[in-house]
Amino acid sequence: MGSTIYYFSATGNSLTIARQIAKGLGDCIVQSMALEPPVEPVGGPDGSIGFVFPVFYIGLPRLVKHFVERMNIIKGTYCFAFINFGGNGADTLGMLEDILQEKGVHLSYADGVKMPGNYIVKYPAFAPDVIQKLIKNAMDKADEAAGAIAEGRLQPVKRTARLFSKIANYNYLYKGIAEWDKKFNVTSKCTGCGVCTKVCPVRNIKIEGRHPLWQHHCERCLACIQWCPCEAIEYGQKTIGRRRYHNPNIEVEDIMVSLIK
């Protein structure tokens, strides 16, 4: 049975998990949710469909929600999801389950794992030894998940903190969209290399006069600040001096939207 995993990843954690599960499954395509969703119906008796992505504000990243809402999944498809988060996944899988159920499908297998947190607006990158331990543990759990999915095992979503997830996710991610990226600023370390524009999943950054300008439709993924090779981007004053994070197994080219196939 062939599989397709749809992933979203700003700093590489989800991508490294998606690749590990794909490796375990064998005949599996890994596709970015930063691209357009498939127009044709997907899945069916011969193809399982997977979702791998990070938790944003105790719930689904907006980009993931909009991508899945536009998908046409054949009823009866074996669907699976594997989320990752810096601390707590709350009801994120349940939020995905709700969208799938409206399409007449559901998650046959759902799981998640802790990964190094990337929310630099609140905290710096974790210590290097902690990062290594979390990634090793996540790779082991991804292997376990791949084994279970390959056998078609069932592990439904365990719903938890439903209302909290819904309210917190909405309040933090959907309010003030036009305002949030106004706090990004760029220091004199900027060389105008354009990496920030290339890693942005929604083309929210333009280079003008050799410096980035944010266009006020930000997904808050933090790829720009985390991947800037000069550490020239700050978010207000809070991020000054904080260690940046991106997954050590992933190259910046893997995140650049125009290079993703």
Q: Using CB under 6 A as the criterion, which residues of the chain lie in contact with ligand FMN when the complex forms?
A: 9-14, 54-58, 84-88, 115, 117-119, 220-222, 247
What token pair was written down for 141? 């759990």
Using the minimum distance from each CB to ligand SF4, give the nearer residue, 21 or 221.
221
Using the minimum distance from each CB to ligand FMN, give the nearer residue, 125 or 146.
125
255 lines the binding site for ligand SF4 (CB under 6 A): no
186 binds, among ligand SF4, ligand FMN, none (CB under 5 to 8 A by kind): ligand SF4
Q: Residue written as tokens 């979503």?
A: 157
255 binds, among ligand SF4, ligand FMN, none (CB under 5 to 8 A by kind): none
Using the minimum distance from each CB to ligand SF4, give the nearer residue, 72 or 187.
187
| Single residue of 55, 221, 255, 256 touching ligand SF4 by CB under 6 A | 221
From 29-37, 86-94, 135-143, 210-218, span contacting ligand SF4 (CB under 6 A): 210-218
Phi and psi of 240, rounded to 5°? Answer: -60, 125
Q: Taking the complex as a whole, how short is the minimal distance between the CB of residue 90 and ligand FMN, in angstroms?
A: 7
List, in sequence order, every residue forming a beta bridge with 84; answer none if it has no partner. 54, 113
- Tell me the pairing of strands 107-114 and 205-208: unpaired
112 binds, among ligand FMN, ligand SF4, none (CB under 5 to 8 A by kind): none
Terminal-to-terminal C-alpha distance of the chain: 22
Per-residue contact string for residues 168-187; x = within reach of ligand SF4 by CB under 6 A? -------------x----x-
Using the minimum distance from each CB to ligand FMN, give the nearer residue, 105 or 195.
195
Using the minimum distance from each CB to ligand FMN, give the nearer residue, 52 or 100.
52
193 lines the binding site for ligand SF4 (CB under 6 A): yes
**Alpha-carbon gap, residue 190 to 230, rounded angstroms:** 6
**Alpha-carbon gap, residue 255 to 249, rounded angstroms:** 12
Closest C-alpha among 63, 75, 69, 2 to residue 35: 63
The full DSSP string for 88-117 is --TTHHHHHHHHHHHTT--EEEEEEEE---
Using the minimum distance from each CB to ligand FMN, give the nearer residue, 34 or 107.
34
Q: Residue written as tokens 């990004």?
A: 184
**Residue 35 half-sphere exposure toward CB, CA atoms < 13 A:** 14
| Single residue of 34, 105, 195, 255 touching ligand SF4 by CB under 6 A | 195
The full DSSP string for 14-28 is HHHHHHHHHHHHSSE
Instruction: Look up residue 25 and give its amino acid.
Output: L
What token pair was written down for 114? 């802790």
Per-residue contact string for residues 223-252; x = within reach of ligand SF4 by CB under 6 A? xx---x-x-xx-------------------
Q: Taking the complex as a whole, how short is the minimal distance between the CB of residue 70 and ligand SF4, in angstroms?
A: 19
